[in-house]
């Protein structure tokens, strides 16, 4: 028996490759499926099943394409109703894979169709669970994302999650390995550990949601407390996972169209495409196409695209470093953004050489910011997340989180200069690009963010643990 976790850091997502006696099961594959097929072929094995733990909201799974390419059936748990052919497993239905078996445990709560898959070894001993978003390390799946009946509340789903965990998962032996669907950084939970594999016994000790003496009322309160609004693209990804989508090869082919500066400019004007600059933030700061939006490939690219652009059908034109074109298109497609129309041939340098209009972003060091702060009262805007802001911020700073920046546009000064920062310099440049695209140009980025601000000796508010604050 072979188990491999295929972890994608940008999405904080775990897909799984399980092989026994030449037969393979893939659990929650990514959109691009060639790697799974190649791995099976290299091992002279055949993909027999594609298991989906639920209808994912934060990424587009590769189940449809993988099934088409291999002939392997897609398996969902009870109550799932996809638009394509699939095996809808019954409770405790067993699937044989070589000398091992995989049992479907219906664990509703995160979504109604959520299912945990229990792997038993060749001796029939419980070996591992693939828990999807039902159980994370340190947390459980949030109960507010499901496409549910109108008469079901978030609290109702949390109650189902409590029952699922205590009747299906917690009775399992402590030495059972837990392979979750996501790790720290995913928006599908709020308190995940950085580790991506653990034992169930350790989770019973470490995970607040698995406390043995916890009442259902306590569970519901703790699981629903402090949930931020889900990104707006989530329902659109659910729809694609449930109804199907275009093959990624066609998406890449369409998006890999090299456009001259003139053709790029014409396409932007004719299609109302958004110009998305995915270079490093330092390059964007030095020069960029006016009104373009920066979201760099080197950061949390796909989730930020989903959260900030939201509409997966939005036409996109890319400014990308040479050689990174396919990577950018692929990573966009992972979160359902399939409408890339092409990229700027020759990159930003070609745009400059063609004599096209350019813009730049003023960015200063934290030391320079400190010097200015000592001389005058400067408006400062912090675009980090709430927990980061609560834990420590520049005195009198305004809290304008990047996640919902558009809701704070009226708070930014219209004439006087103001300063923007995040934790390390990535998110503040995203925020600056959005503000500039809205006609707000009187801003200054603080390079290096809070890390540099602390090193410069700028006064920060006293630390308050966000968890403590909510108790």
Q: Report the alpha-carbon distance of residue 435 to residue 379 in Å, rounded.
A: 15
Residue 471 confidence (pLDDT): 41
Per CATH, the number for 363-469 is 3.40.250.10
Q: Flag the least confident range among 34-43, 95-104, 191-200, 202-211.
A: 191-200
Fold for the domain defined by 2-236: Metallo-beta-lactamase; Chain A (3.60.15)
Give the strands of the sheet with 443-446, arranged side by side: 363-364, 443-446, 418-421, 380-382, 398-399
Q: Report the alpha-carbon distance of residue 413 to residue 98 in Å, rounded.
A: 65
Question: Where are the domains positioned within the chain?
Answer: 2-236, 246-353, 363-469
- 301-309 and 426-437 are packed helices; what angle lies between their axes, rounded to 10 degrees? 30
- Superfamily in which the 246-353 domain is placed by CATH: Rhodanese-like domain (3.40.250.10)
Residue 469 confidence (pLDDT): 44
**Pair 23, 48: CB distance under 8 Å:** yes
Q: Which residues of 48-73 are buried (b: 16+ CB within 10 A; e: fewer)?
A: bbbbbbbbbbbbbbbbbbbbeebebe
The confidence band for 181, taking pLDDT boundaries of 50, 70 and 90, is very high
CA angle 249/255/257 to nearest 5° reads 115
Residue 467 in this model has a pLDDT that exceeds 80: no
**Pair 343, 257: CB distance under 8 Å:** yes
Residue 462 confidence (pLDDT): 76
- Concatenated DSSP letters for 49-88? EEE-SS--SSS--SHHHHHHHH-PPEEE-TT---SS--EE
Q: Which residues of 138-151 are buried (b: 16+ CB within 10 A; e: fewer)?
A: bbbbbbbbbebeee
* Token digits of residue 454: 């602390």
Averaged pLDDT, 205-227: 94
Domains 246-353 and 363-469 share a fold: yes
What's the chain's average pLDDT?
Answer: 94
- The pLDDT tens digits for 363-414 are 999 999 999 999 988 999 999 998 899 999 999 999 999 998 988 999 999 8
pTM, two decimal places: 0.91
Averaged pLDDT, 322-339: 97
Residue 258 CB contacts under 8 Å (≥ 6 apart), including other chains: 342, 343, 345
The confidence band for 463, taking pLDDT boundaries of 50, 70 and 90, is low
402-409: long-range pairs with CB below 8 Å, 24+: 402/304, 402/308, 402/427, 402/430, 402/431, 403/228, 403/231, 403/307, 404/229, 405/308, 405/431, 405/434, 405/435, 406/434, 409/435, 409/438, 409/440
Strand, helix or coil for residue 89 = coil
Q: Which residue is it, tokens 């730049």?
A: 360
**Pair 78, 67: CB distance under 8 Å:** no
CA distances from 2 to 16, 200, 286, 406 (A): 10, 20, 49, 47
Residue 470 confidence (pLDDT): 44
Q: Which residue has the higher pLDDT, 464 or 30?
A: 30
CA angle 307/311/316 to nearest 5° reads 100
Residue 150 confidence (pLDDT): 58
Q: With the CA atoms of 38, 48, 54 and 126 taken in that order, what torsion angle do they form, in degrees rounded to the nearest 10?
A: -110
Residue 184 in this model has a pLDDT that exceeds 90: no
**Pair 58, 10: CB distance under 8 Å:** no
Residue 149 confidence (pLDDT): 56
Backbone angles phi, psi at 19, to 5 degrees: -135, 135
Backbone angles phi, psi at 341, to 5 degrees: -95, -15
Q: Report the alpha-carbon distance of residue 351 to residue 289 in Å, rounded.
A: 8
Backbone angles phi, psi at 123, to 5 degrees: -95, 5
Strand, helix or coil for residue 404 = helix
Q: Report the alpha-carbon distance of residue 134 to residue 169 in Å, rounded.
A: 10
Q: What is the DSSP letter of 462?
A: P
């Amino acid at each position: 028996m072979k188990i491999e976790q295929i972890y994608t850091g940008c999405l904080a997502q775990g897909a799984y490759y399980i092989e026994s006696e030449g037969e393979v099961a893939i659990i929650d594959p990514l959109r691009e499926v060639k790697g799974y097929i190649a791995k099976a072929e290299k091992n002279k094995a055949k993909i027999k099943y594609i298991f989906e733990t639920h209808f994912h909201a934060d990424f587009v799974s590769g189940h449809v394409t993988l099934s088409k390419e291999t002939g392997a059936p897609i398996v969902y748990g009870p109550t799932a109703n996809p638009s394509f052919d699939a095996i809808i497993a019954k409770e405790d239905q067993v699937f044989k894979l070589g000398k091992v078996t995989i049992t479907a445990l219906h664990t509703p709560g995160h979504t109604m169709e959520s299912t945990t898959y229990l792997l038993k070894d060749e001796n029939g001993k419980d070996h591992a669970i693939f828990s999807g978003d039902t159980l994370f390390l340190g947390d459980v799946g949030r109960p507010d994302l499901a496409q549910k009946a109108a008469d079901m509340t978030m609290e109702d789903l949390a109650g189902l999650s409590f029952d699922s965990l205590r009747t299906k998962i917690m009775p399992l032996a402590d030495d059972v390995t837990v392979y979750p669907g996501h790790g720290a950084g995913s928006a599908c939970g709020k308190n995940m550990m950085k580790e991506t594999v653990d034992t169930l016994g350790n989770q019973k000790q470490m995970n607040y949601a698995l406390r043995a003496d916890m009442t259902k009322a306590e569970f519901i309160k703790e699981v629903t407390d402090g949930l931020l609004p889900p990104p707006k693209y989530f329902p659109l990804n659910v729809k694609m996972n449930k109804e199907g989508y275009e093959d990624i090869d066609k998406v890449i082919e369409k998006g890999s169209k090299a456009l001259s500066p003139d053709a790029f400019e014409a396409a932007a004007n004719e299609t109302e495409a958004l110009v998305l600059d995915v270079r490093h933030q330092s390059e964007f700061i030095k020069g960029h196409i006016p009104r373009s939006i920066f979201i760099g490939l080197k950061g949390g690219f796909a989730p930020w695209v989903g959260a900030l652009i939201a509409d997966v059908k939005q036409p996109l034109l890319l400014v990308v470093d040479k050689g990174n074109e396919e990577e950018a298109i692929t990573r966009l497609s992972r979160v359902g953004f399939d409408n890339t129309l092409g990229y700027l041939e020759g990159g930003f340098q070609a745009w400059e050489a063609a004599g096209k209009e350019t813009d730049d972003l003023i960015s200063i060091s934290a030391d320079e910011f400190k010097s200015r702060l000592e001389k005058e009262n400067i408006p400062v805007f912090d675009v980090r997340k709430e927990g980061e802001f609560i834990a420590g911020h520049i005195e009198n700073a305004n809290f304008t989180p990047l996640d919902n920046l558009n809701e704070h546009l009226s708070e930014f000064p219209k004439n006087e200069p103001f300063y923007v920062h995040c934790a390390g310099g990535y998110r503040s440049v995203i925020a600056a690009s959005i503000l500039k695209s809205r006609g707000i140009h009187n801003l200054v980025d603080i390079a290096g963010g809070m890390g540099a601000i602390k090193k410069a000796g700028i006064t920060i508010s006293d630390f308050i643990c966000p968890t403590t604050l909510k108790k």
